[in-house]
């Protein structure tokens, strides 16, 4: 593969005009691809020096053409070197840039970088850190996909439905992602392309017709019996005991892992009812989360507070990475005889479903405790259990009997 562009000026003698003048042509060659275009100059073929690629003599016309040749050659090399530093060079992009067609040379990864930079600048204003992270991960996934294709980048104008279909297949078959994870990154990519529409770099989103639909998965949570089993289990190692306690705190507060990890003494305060509450903004969304503390949650906090919290800003709990925490949770599930994939998110769902919703807490209250922006998100966490259905139906039976209908 060539690593330099070849620039050639030559006379197309087979296309002389009526005056017998021959057109001066430009030919660009790179990586076995070629572009030819007319320069707009016509000349007497006898005045052309093919070896030196210049017009002979010192006439004004010769100076004009030779200046054009020199400036064009230098500008094309400059554009080529600029694009070489950014990644894969596309011959069409070099020529389009030279011709002033900047919009057509915009590449996918340039757009992604521009989009993510915009998000990063507005973190803490109208975007959360998690929003930037998800788009940055999308950027990395795209780079891996392009490398899989043997490319470093691709022009926006060359994107089509096949590109995102291939990306979808790559994410599942090569990168090992689930359907819903793959769908998430495809949706992110479609969103990024909307920036190109807003700026007029594309007339339409090439991925618009590609269907990106999440599959409804079974939401994993613990039943009351399973939660009680873990709560009463005696573990042989201090490590598993600590992880179990942290998980119980999630089950009785609904805290996300990162919010539990960053929980500080200053976050424990007296609520409107005079009891202990956790009041803090969620790290993911910056939305205020106000959690009245149930007795099991208070017991966990009081157990670790003397060891980990000397000042109001000290962490309250033992520190584990999310990866290790989830691995240890699965170990806890195994020794507790629970045949479920136990993760930190299961604790959050268990609070919403088993602890709160099943005991009559409204979806609006659960939403506020979880720090959700809308109850629509909360419905993904709080699952209506068979027990809840049974309780509601028993109430209905009682009501019907009172009315003489049952």
pLDDT single digits (tens) 155-207: 888 888 899 899 999 999 999 988 888 999 999 998 898 888 876 677 788 88
What's the angle, vertex CA 281, arms to CA 277 and CA 283, rounded to 5?
130
Q: Is 87 helix (H, G, I), strand (E, B) or coil?
A: coil
Higher pLDDT, 354 or 148: 148
Rounded CA separation 64/393 (Å): 92
Residues of each domain in the chain carrying CATH 1.10.150: 106-198
CA 99 to chain CA centroid, Å, is: 35
Using the 8-state DSSP alphabet, how is residue 203 labeled? S
Structural element, H or E, at residue 6: strand 6-11
**pLDDT for position 309:** 61
- Arithmetic mean of pLDDT, 61-88: 84
Residues of each domain in the chain carrying CATH 1.10.443.10: 224-392
Structural element, H or E, at residue 279: strand 276-281
Round the average pLDDT of the chain to a whole number and report it: 83
The two tokens of residue 227 are: 């939660």
Which whole-number Å values give the CA distances from 286 to 141, 194, 307, 310, 346, in the listed order? 27, 26, 28, 26, 22
The two tokens of residue 165 are: 């279909």
**pLDDT for position 98:** 78
Rounded CA separation 278/251 (Å): 14
Q: Of 118, 27, 108, which Cα lies nearest the Cα of 73?
A: 27
106-198 CATH: 1.10.150
Q: Of 36, 35, 32, 26, which Cα lies nearest the Cα of 68?
A: 26
Confidence class of residue 249 from pLDDT cuts 50, 70 and 90? very high
- Arithmetic mean of pLDDT, 92-108: 71
What's the angle, vertex CA 142, arms to CA 146 and CA 1, rounded to 5?
20
How many CB atoms lie under 10 A from the CB of residue 71?
Answer: 10
pLDDT digits (tens, 9 = 90+) for 374-405: 766 666 655 555 556 666 667 767 676 776 65
**pLDDT for position 129:** 80
Cβ-Cβ contacts under 8 Å for 266 (sequence gap 6 or more): 312, 313
β-sheet bridge partners, residue 8: 27
Rounded CA separation 257/343 (Å): 10
Rounded CA separation 36/8 (Å): 9
Note the pTM of the prediction, 2 decimals: 0.53
Using the 8-state DSSP alphabet, how is residue 59 labeled? -
Burial of 83 (0-12, 13-18, 19+ CB in 10 A): buried
Range with lowest mean pLDDT among 99-108, 305-314, 361-370: 99-108
Here the contacts of 396-404 (C-beta below 8 Å, separation 24 or greater) are: none
Cα distance from N-terminal residue to C-terminal residue, the chain: 83
CATH match for 224-392 among 2.60.40.10, 1.10.443.10, 3.40.50.300, 3.30.70.100? 1.10.443.10
What is the chain's percent helix, strand, coil content, to nearest 5? 55, 10, 35
């Amino acid at each position: 593969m060539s690593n330099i562009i070849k620039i050639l000026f030559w006379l197309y003698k087979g296309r002389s005009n009526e005056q017998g003048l021959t057109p001066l042509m430009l030919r660009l060659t790179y990586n076995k691809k070629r572009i030819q275009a007319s320069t707009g100059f016509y000349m007497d073929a006898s005045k052309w020096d093919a070896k030196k690629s210049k017009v002979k003599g010192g006439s004004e016309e010769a100076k004009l053409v030779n200046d054009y040749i020199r400036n064009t050659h230098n500008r094309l090399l400059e554009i080529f070197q600029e694009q070489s530093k950014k990644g894969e060079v596309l011959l069409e992009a070099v020529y389009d840039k030279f011709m002033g067609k900047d919009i057509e040379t915009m590449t996918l990864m340039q757009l992604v970088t521009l989009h993510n930079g915009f998000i990063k600048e507005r973190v803490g204003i109208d975007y959360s850190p998690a929003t930037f992270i998800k788009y940055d991960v999308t950027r990395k996934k795209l780079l891996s996909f392009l490398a899989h294709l043997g490319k470093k980048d691709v022009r926006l104008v060359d994107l089509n439905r096949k590109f995102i279909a291939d990306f979808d297949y790559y994410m599942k078959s090569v990168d090992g992602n689930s359907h819903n994870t793959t769908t998430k990154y495809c949706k992110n990519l479609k969103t990024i392309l909307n920036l190109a529409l807003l700026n007029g770099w594309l007339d339409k989103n090439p991925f618009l017709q590609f269907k990106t639909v999440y599959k409804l998965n079974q939401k994993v949570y613990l039943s009351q019996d399973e939660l009680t089993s873990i709560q009463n289990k005696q573990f042989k190692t201090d490590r598993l005991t600590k992880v179990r306690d942290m998980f119980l705190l999630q089950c009785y507060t609904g805290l996300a892992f990162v919010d539990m990890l960053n929980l500080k003494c200053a976050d424990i305060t007296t609520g409107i009812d005079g009891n202990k509450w956790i009041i803090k903004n969620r790290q993911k969304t910056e939305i205020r989360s106000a959690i009245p503390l149930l007795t099991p949650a208070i017991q966990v906090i009081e157990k670790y507070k003397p060891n980990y919290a000397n000042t109001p800003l000290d962490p309250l709990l033992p520190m584990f990475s999310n990866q290790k925490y989830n691995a240890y949770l699965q170990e806890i599930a195994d020794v507790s005889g629970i045949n479920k994939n136990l993760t930190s998110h299961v604790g959050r769902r268990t609070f919403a479903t088993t602890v709160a919703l099943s005991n009559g807490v409204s979806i609006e209250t659960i939403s506020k405790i979880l720090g959700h922006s809308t109850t629509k998100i909360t419905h993904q966490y709080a699952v209506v259990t068979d027990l809840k259905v049974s309780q509601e139906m028993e109430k209905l039976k009682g009501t019907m009997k009172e009315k003489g209908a049952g």
